[in-house]
Chain A
């Protein structure tokens, strides 16, 4: 994409920063074109210094945002060599990959990418320590739980949350440490044992990526200095959602060395507080730590994205006075209430049929399904809608529920075995995966011990498949998988051909369901690989590295059609028409949000949802809501309490 025109407001910021440098905080409201400020700053710096070699670090919130930024800058000379554009985790992972030796890691660890796998490891850590096992194996006396399994599930979740929180606080306990202020002895042991188990299997979790890299940068000045000399500019997008660990990593990296640091964010859109993020890092810590002077905090207010109607509703929610006087489009907003979710769904589908195909300037040509989104506070509000969509003749195959970061997760048993095999090939030490494979193949205790002695991954896989007790895979399929693994070991570059061969083999699977799932899983692998090969140097590919790439959730399928999404997954996106559904009080804001901060964040969520709309917005809620424990009566959301909701019935109410 060639150079984009900047508004005077945007241009002032870009010029100011590119000319003067230094720390800069840009508070950019929704639709004000902050991505454009970021990309144009990068373009400007690179184009002004064609002969220099320093790099620019651009930290985005999602992989998708990074992809988009790269696309927009694709025409700039040196963009590949002179920038790192990616999430904070991706940047940290790059450093960790090449500096892991500083922490005594010889082989690059694999990233444990599923909650269930973390739980498995935690369970093992707990059970192998009598002190902790006691807590786990006995129902507490407080009568809060009606069964031991329920208690244990909850116990594990709480422990994992605790561990994750501490890692996000960048707390590191060496093995010889016996205590930590404010922690019980059990907690110290659990934290250490869990980490030790990860280490022994050469695994790390997501939080470790930031923690370990932060340790390298803060403990090894020489390493930090090397990177500081490579990067002269640092830009951070969505800075309102920086977590402590992310901010601390950026601070440690830059402070006193890299002067040119620009944070761009909108405190009104801070919606990840539940995960430890806070707009305070951008608004207060950054201003203090980098001693921002006058003229180094600049707002961009003007909303270029949304029609007048949308902007005024957004202003109403945020208390901002966003200007959009020049917006050409007036747009429209309708507030609707329905008797129940089925009626809400039916009306929306009807409306979509009605508007689709409309042509007009407002929709930049013909209105197509991918210009429309249906947003909700959580996934559960889509239940009825999904049902209705899937039986709609026109729309049944034209919609998708957008997930957050996607991790490749096979659904067929055949591909589950294949997937586990590739994990074992990349890391023989990770017995969490070996055990899963044994479970899948119903290999008994005795056989396990026998197989465990097998040090070679391929030999282990071969023996495991040969003694599978539940005949999960027929002989021909076992052989096909084995041969695929063997070929992967020889040359990972042949993966496309290897998968091609598997497609033929899978065609012979008898059960229809398993066959179609397996082929679908395989297709996902192929797509992920295509994306992977474009992101790594030609010769640097390996199964281990591919698995790390998968774990980072870098693959996002390009889905076409109508978007169904929760507010948290549409950050930075925009649609011509937005349906914001299920805005009953208790759903939006969530009934659990009671504190002042939580409620403020819920309001931010509403602000984000509303400002995704470029032209038209339909806000709706059902008066009756189905819940697992019965039907609930609900009022309209307090965020829209002063809006005129119009009561609509589409279906004859049935008892």
Chain B
């Protein structure tokens, strides 16, 4: 469609003290609640639509000490570039006119600042838009007011509370706007309205109840002097222009009976609301194209996943991608985020006392295509939850994968994910990729490693180096056991729990009681060292982890319910979460 909103820079708006990021055809905004995603979308809306309704003095950034910025002014800068090539198409050149700037390389762009100034000490802000001549220098010429027509780049904001059932009632919703443009020619209109008229009177006459109601209401005519027809009962819309108000959408799910939408769940209704937007925008784009006009819609959408089944979430994302124009979408869905390519992700996180936004550009450029594929498929698809974690714990063993959630549950009295903690098992070799990714996403991490075998040591060392850690011992984010977790626990005095766990998974295998007892006797007879090295026990490692973990957290001695290193791990996590 000729153009693209390429960059946005926001200053002093709510929690966004100073952020800048690029926008693609699709951009996914990730980040915890309250990390500034909605503010970001609102800022975009102010810049593109000039909405005043979102702006109040409260929107000024306030720093950690509760102070307003020295110049109480919100700036929202946008940079629009040609979709392909260096120059805008003639149509778009004529839309933006001589506000278009040309950079040193000869590429055209149109950048402007929306400045919202509260310095006049009046309740109303002074809102101005002026041309940015040089994006990099962060300066705008306050004398060069934007003259370009901005109505051709409208932003459509769909918030998390959408509901088609509600949309149907409001003329301002996309559905209402589309439905209100139902067009008939004059002849058709006359006929249809006559039809509606007779339908109404017939319905009233044929229904005893309505006829009765009508007679009763006609009493009104006697007391209130009216010049018109007085009371009328119309079970159907009377005028075509009201047709959309009574519009019903019926939806049949599989083989079931057709239900009016109001009987469907919120998921369907929210999804239908999005489709209402899609229908509206498709229609608009088609209409403008037919008129020889141009239009570049920008969609700001909050949480497309709302109320939807994971599979439906994936499907919604597919539909969103197909929509015309540019899509900027905030999501908390571990099903949707992994569908995006890495370059489409923007991560919102809290810096010192303001929001920061990071993207994965430098991460992507630092890894091989194979690694990128690896991240996009195995990490994103299967570990999507890490994108939404407040902190990620990485480990290399299956034992930990089974045991750590149980310890976590004991420690916090809730599941780890409820605390925003993602416990992620990465194959030993993947530490490096994971660490770099997490660094790029600005998600805090901890490594809980056996750190026993030489190849693990090498790989972890190199992973640490790659994120700038030269001394793992001095870095509290690395918790290393220097032996397998079982050996560590045995050394810590948990042999009984492990032995019992072994028996609990091994014994059901024996049909012969004698053999079972012999095995028990053999294992009990092993010295500590022999027990650690016993191959038969080792081969059941992964299966028995849940069992011993369960026994440890229910240890009769309360102080022994969390082994030292594991306790250290959780305490470190608690530090981070504070």
Residues of A within 8 A of B (CB): 51-55, 81, 94-95, 97-98, 101, 108, 220, 222-223, 225-227, 229-230, 491, 536-537, 539-540, 542, 544-545
Contacts and interface: CB of A to CB of B under 8 A. Distances in A.
Given A101-B134, A222-B108, A229-B90, A540 B143 contact: yes
In this complex, the member of B98, B106, B147, B291 whose beta carbon has the largest number of chain A beta carbons within 10 angstroms is B98
A55 B144 contact: no
Contacts of A540: 130, 143-145
B426 interface: no
B98 A95 contact: yes
A610 B25 CA distance: 67
Nearest to B106: A222
Given A223-B102, A226-B102, A53 B131 contact: no
Given A537-B147, A545-B143, A53 B91 contact: yes
A229 B100 CA distance: 12
B20 to A, nearest CB: 22
Contact of A52 (B134, B143, B292): B292
A225 B87 contact: yes
B144 A97 contact: yes
Interface in B63-86: 86
Given A53-B94, A226-B100, A230-B98, A98 B145 contact: no
A542 B130 CA distance: 13
B133 interface: yes
Contacts of A542: 142-143
Contacts of B100: 226
Given A226-B98, A230-B97, A537-B147, A98 B292 contact: no
Interface residues of B, number: 31
B140 to A, nearest CB: 12
Contact of A54 (B94, B133, B291): B94
Nearest to A491: B120
Contacts of B106: 222
Given A94-B98, A98-B99, A226-B108, A51 B144 contact: no
A406 B33 CA distance: 63
A230 B147 CA distance: 14
A491 B117 CA distance: 13
B244 to A, nearest CB: 27
Nearest to A52: B292
A227 B94 contact: no
B94 A539 contact: no
Given A52-B292, A98-B131, A220 B102 contact: yes
A229 B147 CA distance: 17
B143 A537 contact: no
B275 interface: no
Nearest to B108: A226
B293 interface: yes
Contacts of A54: 90, 94
Nearest to A540: B145
Interface of B: 86-88, 90-91, 93-95, 97-100, 102, 106, 108, 120, 128-131, 133-134, 142-145, 147, 149, 291-293
Given A222-B108, A229-B90, A81 B98 contact: no
In this complex, the member of A81, A101, A536, A540 whose beta carbon has the largest number of chain B beta carbons within 10 angstroms is A540
Contacts of A97: 144
Contacts of B129: 539
A230 B90 CA distance: 7
23 contacts: A52-B94, A53-B95, A54-B90, A54-B94, A55-B94, A95-B98, A98-B99, A98-B131, A98-B144, A101-B133, A108-B143, A222-B86, A222-B102, A222-B106, A225-B87, A226-B102, A229-B87, A229-B88, A491-B120, A539-B145, A542-B142, A542-B143, A544-B143
Given A220-B102, A540-B145, A230 B93 contact: yes
Contacts of A108: 143
Given A230-B97, A540-B145, A542-B143, A51 B131 contact: no
Contacts of B143: 108, 540, 542, 544-545
A52 B291 CA distance: 10
A59 to B, nearest CB: 16
Contacts of B102: 220, 222-223, 226
A98 B149 CA distance: 17
Closest 8 CB pairs of A and B: A540-B145, A53-B94, A229-B93, A222-B106, A537-B145, A539-B128, A222-B102, A51-B292
Contacts of B145: 536-537, 539-540
Contacts of B108: 222, 226
Nearest to B127: A539
Given A220-B102, A540-B143, A542-B143, A226 B93 contact: yes
Contacts of A222: 86-87, 102, 106, 108
B313 to A, nearest CB: 41
A52 B88 CA distance: 16
A54 B95 CA distance: 9
Contacts of A223: 102
Given A101-B134, A539-B128, A81 B99 contact: no
Contacts of A98: 98-99, 131, 144
Nearest to B103: A222
Contacts of B133: 101
A223 B93 CA distance: 12
A591 B404 CA distance: 109
A51 B128 CA distance: 28
A58 to B, nearest CB: 16
Contacts of A51: 291-293
A55 B97 CA distance: 9
B486 to A, nearest CB: 70
A62 B496 CA distance: 103
A498 to B, nearest CB: 16
